[in-house]
Amino acid sequence: MKVIECAQCHRTFIPPKFTCRACGHTDFQEKEVPGKGKIISFTTIWVAPESFMDQVPYDIAVVELADNLKITGRLIPAGKKPTIDAPVEFDQKDEKAYWFKLI
């Protein structure tokens, strides 16, 4: 999974980011990190915006990755319910969301 890293203080962020909130630097470089993490929060969407109504119910989770990075993403339906601390793995990013699968 690609993230960005501040060229000065080496703190990592999920893009887009234009200024490092740790040191104020504006130069970033791409960095590959393992896409494995754990669910730290989740919810099931039953009433969705009109453009997602054909997908309900679906799960959204806050995932904690390496380097204490936290990202909100969709969970790929897997026939099992998400739980706190459940391991997940990054699957893809599209124009609407980051996608994770339970492992």
CATH assignment at residue 75: 2.40.50.840
Note the pLDDT of residue 42. 98
Residue 25's domain comprises: 2-31
* Shared-domain flag, residues 12 and 45: no
The total of structural domains in the chain comes to 2
Note the pLDDT of residue 13. 92
* Shared-domain flag, residues 38 and 26: no
pLDDT, tens digit, 9 for 90 and up, residues 45-80: 999 999 999 999 999 999 999 888 999 999 998 888
Note the pLDDT of residue 102. 96
* Shared-domain flag, residues 27 and 38: no
3-state secondary structure the chain: CEEEEECCCCCEECCCCCCCCCCCCCCEEEEECCCEEEEEEEEEECCCCHHHHHHCCEEEEEEECHHHCEEEEEECCCCCCCCCCCEEEEEEECCCCEEEEEC
* Shared-domain flag, residues 18 and 6: yes
Percent of the chain with pLDDT over 90: 85
* Shared-domain flag, residues 55 and 70: yes
Note the pLDDT of residue 29. 96
Enter the pTM of the model.
0.86
